[in-house]
């Protein structure tokens, strides 16, 4: 099959032939229909991802497709099923899974997948005599992926896979941060800082939660115009964020979501909340970045939280998002700035990196 490999940090991806093995026990071979290009892929290209320790690595993790073959013991999907490939496949047995926190699964299979290995510690991919690790156990910049059964979430065949692919990461992260992590209440005020692919979905999540004041902040005016299409009631070109927010909601917002992954911006988002407010770190700052918050801001019971993939339960949240799209309550088409072939992956990466697009989606077939 053809796939885009990261062979050297900081260099363009190499579109090459990669051999893929048949799925083993508990695994599923999926023919990829589409894969979004995400900021996490770019972080890996830049050598800043803590989970990419072995090259070559097959990037991509935001995808959907059709089941081609199943390994022994697989019962929840069969060939021909349409599936979203979830970012994580909870083991169902560890302490966190038992406490209904599958997004924090610490099972051996999940930990192996994060590092690009199957449950048995090997990989199903190779390029010549080189072993290839798939990014977080997926590697969807390729015509096919082999993933664990728990990562395959079945969806209706009437829904477009090139749009559902986005729910696997960008959509579930943004919407989930609002609904699962912060649990935004109806009638509340919300600030979203950073209006790329994930930030737009935090805006959508705020609409779904019933927030009545939704402030979108960015440094690019075009992104703010797009945020308005997704439900933002106010937009600000971020400068003095706390003061700008206070001019709209006196005293600060109830909830703030920082999607920039910049520690200094996260601190400003936190300062823009009112006493009793909650700030969620959605974007991940680079290793070594310090977060500086004056201790006095913690008085008034302000909360600072992190989230991991929207704290989602894939089997619950991905079908919910698909249904919201079906009912016209979730805008997926507006997230897709361009559809490109695999051969144009590096051009797509460049446009995502520059902020020129919300999402560039690789389509196959």
Is residue 211 a contact partner of residue 187, using CB atoms and an 8 Å limit?
Answer: yes
Averaged pLDDT for residues 214-219: 97
What is the fold, at CATH topology level, of the domain defined by 174-308? Rossmann fold (3.40.50)
In this prediction, residue 169 carries a pLDDT of: 95
Please identify which residue in the block is written with the tokens 């190779």: 126
Task: Tell me how far CA of residue 289 lies from CA of 160, 257, 261, 296, in angstroms.
Answer: 39, 18, 10, 21
In this prediction, residue 57 carries a pLDDT of: 97
- C-alpha–C-alpha distance, residues 219 and 132, integer Å: 38
pLDDT digits (tens, 9 = 90+) for 253-263: 999 999 999 99
CATH architecture of 2-168+332-363: Alpha-Beta Complex (3.90)
- C-alpha–C-alpha distance, residues 365 and 228, integer Å: 34
pLDDT of residue 287 exceeding 80, the answer is no
Domain ranges for the chain: 2-168+332-363, 174-308
pLDDT digits (tens, 9 = 90+) for 297-335: 888 899 999 999 999 999 999 999 999 999 999 999 999
- C-alpha–C-alpha distance, residues 360 and 141, integer Å: 12
Please state the pTM of the whole predicted model. 0.94
pLDDT digits (tens, 9 = 90+) for 156-205: 999 999 999 999 999 999 999 999 999 999 999 999 999 999 999 999 99
Is residue 218 a contact partner of residue 194, using CB atoms and an 8 Å limit?
Answer: yes
pLDDT of residue 93 exceeding 90, the answer is no
- C-alpha–C-alpha distance, residues 6 and 187, integer Å: 46
């Amino acid at each position: 099959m053809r796939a885009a490999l990261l062979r050297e940090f900081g260099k363009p991806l190499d579109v090459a032939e990669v051999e893929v093995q048949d799925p083993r026990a508990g695994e599923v071979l999926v023919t990829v229909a589409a894969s979004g290009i995400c900021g996490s892929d770019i972080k890996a290209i830049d050598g800043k991802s803590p989970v990419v320790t072995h090259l070559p690595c097959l990037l991509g993790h935001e995808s959907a497709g059709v089941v081609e073959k199943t390994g022994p013991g697989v019962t929840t999907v069969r060939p021909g099923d349409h599936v979203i490939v979830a970012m994580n496949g909870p083991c169902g047995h560890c302490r966190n899974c038992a406490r209904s926190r599958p997004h924090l699964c610490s099972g051996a299979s999940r930990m192996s997948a994060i590092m690009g290995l199957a449950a048995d510690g090997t990989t199903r991919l190779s390029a010549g005599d080189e072993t290839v690790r798939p990014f977080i156990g997926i590697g969807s910049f390729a015509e096919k992926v082999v993933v664990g059964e728990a990562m395959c979430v079945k969806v209706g065949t009437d829904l477009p896979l090139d749009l559902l692919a986005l729910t696997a990461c960008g959509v579930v992260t943004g919407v989930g941060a609002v609904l699962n992590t912060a649990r935004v209440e109806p009638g509340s005020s919300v600030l979203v800082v950073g209006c790329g692919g994930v930030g737009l979905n935090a805006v959508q999540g705020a609409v779904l939660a019933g927030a009545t004041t939704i402030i979108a902040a960015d440094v690019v005016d075009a992104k703010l115009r797009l945020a308005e299409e997704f439900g933002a009631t106010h937009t600000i070109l971020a400068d003095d964020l706390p003061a700008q927010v206070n001019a709209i909601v006196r005293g600060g917002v109830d909830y703030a979501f920082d999607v920039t992954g910049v520690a200094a911006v996260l601190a400003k988002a936190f300062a823009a909340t009112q006493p009793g407010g909650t700030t969620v770190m959605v974007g991940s700052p680079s290793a070594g970045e310090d977060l500086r918050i004056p201790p006095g801001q913690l008085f008034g019971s302000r909360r600072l939280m992190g989230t991991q993939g929207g704290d989602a339960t894939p089997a619950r949240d991905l079908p919910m998002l698909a249904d919201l799209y079906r009912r016209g309550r979730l805008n997926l088409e507006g997230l897709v700035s361009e559809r490109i072939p695999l051969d144009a992956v590096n051009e797509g990466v460049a446009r995502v990196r520059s902020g020129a697009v919300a999402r560039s989606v690789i389509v196959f077939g």
